[in-house]
Structure 1
Amino acid sequence: MKVYKLFFVLLGFIPIWSSGSLFAQTNQENEILLNATLPQLIDYALKNKPEVKQAIIDEEIGERDIKSALSGWLPQINANANFNHNLKQQVNALTTNGETNYITFGTKNTSGIVLQADQQFLNAGLIQASKSAKYYREQYKRTTESKQINTIVEVSKAFFDILTSQEQLKIINENIARLEKQLKDAKAQYEGGLVDKTDYQRAQISLSNSQADKKRTEELLKYKYAYIKGLIGYNPEQEFSLTFDTQTMEQHVLLDTTQILSPQNRVEYRLLETQRNLQKINTSYNKAAYLPRLSGFINHSWNYLNNDFSELYNQSYPGSVVGLTLNVPIFQGGKRTQEIKKSQLLERRIDLDLEDTRNLINTQYERALATYKSNLNDWKTANANVEISKQVYNTIKLQYDEGIKTYLDLMTSETDLNTSQLNYLNSLYSLLSAKLDVQQALGTITINP
């Protein structure tokens, strides 16, 4: 299949190819991802994720099913051969003028070869296959599209999750560096008799907690990398690394919230519409089952008769027949009537599925939009809090160095800064994920071949 180019780039927050990125390929089936961007991950997943590959195989299987069903319109040619040896030949009575004679019919050995061609001219089942082929192809393609869209969303969220953890790790490392300096200063002040032991002990506790946070984040990152490898169908033994462009993503978190929701944009809804069309064709087929079936045939046979097996095939007695077969269904105990009513009920059921899906899509959109707006507000608030926390920390740090503020004040401002930075990262991840959910609900995440 052609490599899919993602309309997903229009989402805005996907990093552009960077000069430092590397996308090495050892062969067509075994690519190595080093410093991979999000578009590269998605492209790799669409080609290698088992679930997507299975859907593509299902498309190919479906195409074979369609061609198999339509093959009934072509001539069906068959050859049959037989050989019979009569252990006891049949004896029949022949009465002539009141006198009965017993005559043995046939020969001990008979054989025949028949070559026959059949051609369908009118067949409700084949008419149904012809009409439904288009919709079956749509069904298979839309199922694949649904798998691909889900893959885009899952891979993107996993990528953002790793990005968040990577940034958290940077913040923790910066915090550890500050705490190590504070610990060193507190120890020097304690040894110089300027402060009591509690400042030094508090610095030790804070440093230990930050180091524990670092270890926990590093271990979780290992799992998250393993998870995204499995998600995209990547060999866990191969080298793997990602590259991030946080600033670009931050600049494109905004979303047009005035877009009009249209259920027809959702692949799930279009899939149901296809199923409804198929069911309508099935209803038409059940109605057409009242029609007769008309087919033609032509055959040629070679017959062999002889009492001596060694001379059986020395002489053939050929024959040839051409004709038409008309089958008119008259009465089947009401089966066809019940099948028609059943099919009409299934149509009504799919109509209700469509109505229910419209309601679900609307609910999903409203929930996703509300979550996005809430997360957008949280992100703006967290961003402002980071700047304020930095100013507060820097001011209190200067005052602490001059002996105006206590170490407890410094630790409080340090904690507030660390918390605000982590809250900002978490809100950014939540906002990016919510934006994806809104776009998925709108049906604007699409794949163009």
Structure 2
Amino acid sequence: MRTMKQRLFAGLSLLFFAVPGFAQEEAPIPKNVLTLEEVVDYALVQSPIIRQALIDQEIGDRDIKANLADWYPQITASAAGIYNIKLQQQIIGDQLITFGQTYNSNALLEVGQTLFNRDQLFASKSAKYYRQQLQQVTENARINTVVDVSKAFYSILLSEEQLKILDQNLDRLDKQYKDAYSRFEAGLVDKTDYQRASIALTNVKSDRNRMANSFEAKYDYLKQLMGYPDSLDFTIEFDLQAETNKVVEDVADPLILENRVEYRLLQTQQTLNEVQTGYERWNYLPQLSAYYRYNWNYFNNSFSDLYNTAYPVSSVGLNLAIPIFQGGKRVHRVKAAELQVDRGRVEIENLSNQLRTEYSGALADFNSSVYEWQLIRENMEMAEEVYNIIKMQYDEGIKAYVELVVAETDLQTAQINHINAFYQVLEDKLDLERALGTIN
């Protein structure tokens, strides 16, 4: 049978591991093909920036609790021992009197309770706003993570779409090269046609190789932002058509400053500035605390008999400290705190103007990119139509090969420009949502 100590240890072990918070569960790692929502959700849990912000928030909360702990009774114990090498002596009358004993010792138990203290009043009044500030800092980190991760996601998608366009062009150019070479062998055209086709094919192959080699670096960057394990891999998917329709339907909301976390952070800081001003004014108030002491005293000329008899002393009392004059320091501190409040008002006003400017700029960029994307889409459709016509005319011997090369180049350029313009719309939309404060 187990001893009582073993049972107690086993019980405490079970209790320790059963308490939530001592062991943090690992977040499930999404694998295979991931959507933007899955990538962002994982990043909001595992991103190094988010994890650091959450740790900072917990540290701040612990600091607040530590400051508030001074309101509770403070219990201290102390002990001391003294060996008097030479005891004090004094002549009284015609006698030499020795005071004290060779060995002294004491043990003190003291209980203190703060009744009124400006530091504790400040800690109590400001705790709510400090917690609010910590939460807003974490919220700001989440917003930045959403934007950064989304843009990295879009960058990979852009490369994938460009790669698809280059693959399509490679197929067309390869067919054109084979057709031109067959015509040359048949004596229908000179060798310049298939040579031009070879040059165009080689150029597109080079572009495709460069694009394909950039994928690993872009995925590594996205995994870094997400906090995703380097040893694992995934691919991404995106409903391009659904997002296209959604972008066209989107209408920008009016700017509400309170939606911006930066504005709310500054408001919270301004509230703390006002609380700080009150704290400095409280410097004129007295401080009051209560205490209870119990002191065990021991005296003896023999160390072995020192603790045979105790001579206890007990007391209870109040401590009142009234600040009277500090050389004008309190006046200057109050004035400095008031000036800090004035500065905060100017800072809020300046930030408000900055946010309005940022919003108007983001809105202008978004509207411009949407307009440009729609024009470029029309150009792409036109370039595709022109290419098909010229290709048909070239096959019939009506057009020269050089015109087909020009049409092919125009089509590829229009396709690349179109996909670049669309992903610029997505990025500008993200910036507009951040400017509006609507990213959750």
Q: So what's the TM-score if we normalise by structure 1? A: 0.91
Q: Does 1:91 align with 2:85?
A: no
SS across alignment from 2:220: helix
Take 1:254 and 1:273, find their aligned partners in 2: how far apart are those partners?
A: 36
Q: Is the 8 A contact 1:33 1:239 kept in 2?
A: yes
Q: 1:124-154, CA deviations, whole angstroms, 9 ceiling, x for partnerless residues?
A: 0000000000000011100000000000011
Q: Write the mapping of 1:32-181 to structure 2, written as runs, cut at 5 A.
A: 32-94=30-92, 99-181=93-175
Report matched runs for 1:3-42 at 5 Å.
28-29=26-27, 31-42=29-40
Aligned length, in residue pairs:
416
SS in 2 for 1:445: coil
Shift of 1:223: 1.4
SS state of the match for residue 289, structure 1?
helix
The residue that corresponds to 2:315 in the other structure is 321
Q: Which amino acid aligns with 1:422?
A: I
Work out whether residues 92 and 102 of structure 1, in 8 Å CA contact, stay in contact via their aligned partners in 2: yes
Q: What's the CA shift for 1:103?
A: 1.0
Residue 193 of structure 1 and its aligned partner are, at CA, apart by 1.1
Q: Secondary structure at the match of 1:195?
A: coil
**Deviation digits for residues 219-238 of structure 1, max 9, x if unmatched?**
12221111111111112221
Query: Aligned partners of 1:385, 1:441: CA distance in 2, in Å?
Result: 31
Q: Secondary structure at the match of 1:376?
A: helix
Q: Is the CA contact (8 Å cut-off) linking 2:27 and 2:45 kept in structure 1?
A: no
CA distance in 1, matches of 2:434, 2:111: 53
- Deviation at 1:342? 1.1
Rounded to whole Å, the distance in 1 between the matches of 2:327 and 2:405 is 88
Aligned partner of 2:15 in structure 1 is none
Residue 93 of structure 1 deviates from its aligned partner by 3.3
Alignment of structure 1 residues 345-364 onto 2, 5 Å: 345-364=339-358
Contact 1:32 1:238 in 2 (8 A): no
Instruction: Name the CA shift for 1:208/1:258 in 2 (closer, same or farther; >3 Å).
Output: closer
Matching of residues 207-222 of structure 1 within 5 Å = 207-222=201-216
Cα separation, 2, equivalents of 1:57 and 1:364: 31
SS of the aligned residue for 2:343 comes to helix
1:390 corresponds to which residue?
384
SS of the residue 1:295 aligns to: strand
Aligned partner of 2:18 in structure 1 is none
Alignment correspondent of 2:13 = none
The CA deviation string for residues 158-181 of structure 1, in whole angstroms up to 9 with x for no partner, is: 111111110110110010010000
CA contact (8 A) 2:115 2:289 kept: yes
SS of 1:237's equivalent in the other structure is: coil
Q: Is the 8 A contact 2:74 2:111 kept in 1?
A: yes
Structure 1 residues 255 and 332, CA, compared in 2 at 3 Å: closer, same or farther? farther
Contact 2:43 2:226 in 1 (8 A): yes
| Aligned 1:367-446 pairs, distance under 5 A | 367-446=361-440
Q: Secondary structure at the match of 1:252?
A: helix
Q: String of CA shifts for 1:210-255, please: whole Å, max 9, x gaps.
A: 0001001111222111111111111222122112211111111136
Structure 2 unaligned segments of length 5 or more: list them: 1-24
Question: SS of the counterpart of 1:31?
Answer: coil
Residue of structure 1 in register with 2:327 after alignment: 333
Identity %: 46
1:286 is aligned, of 280, 292, 299, to 280
Mean Cα deviation higher: 169-178 or 380-389? 380-389
Letter in 1 for 2:173: L
Task: State which drifts further: 107-116 or 347-356.
Answer: 347-356
In structure 2, distance between residues paired with 1:45 and 1:60: 19
Assess if the C-alpha contact under 8 Å between 1:32 and 1:239 holds in 2: no
Q: Deviations over 1:272-325 (max 9, x none)?
A: 111111111111011001100000000111111111111110000111100000
By how many angstroms is 1:385 displaced?
Answer: 1.5
| CA drift at 1:32 | 4.3
Distance 1:389 1:292 in 2: 84
Gaps of at least 5 residues in structure 1 are: 1-26
Deviation readout 1:165-213 (Å, 9 max, x if unpaired):
1011011001001000000010011111111111111101100000001
After TM superposition, the score normalised by the length of structure 2 is: 0.93
Q: SS of 2:223's equivalent?
A: helix
The alignment's C-alpha RMSD in Å is 1.2
CA contact (8 A) 1:389 1:413 kept: yes
Give the Cα–Cα distance (whole angstroms) in 2 for the partners of residues 389 and 216 of structure 1. 25
Deviation for aligned residue 1:101: 3.2
Asked if the contact 2:88/2:99 (under 8 Å) is kept, the reply is yes
Aligned-partner Cα distance in 2 for 1:71–1:236: 43
- Residues 153-302 of structure 1 aligned to structure 2 (within 5 Å): 153-254=147-248, 256-257=250-251, 259-302=253-296
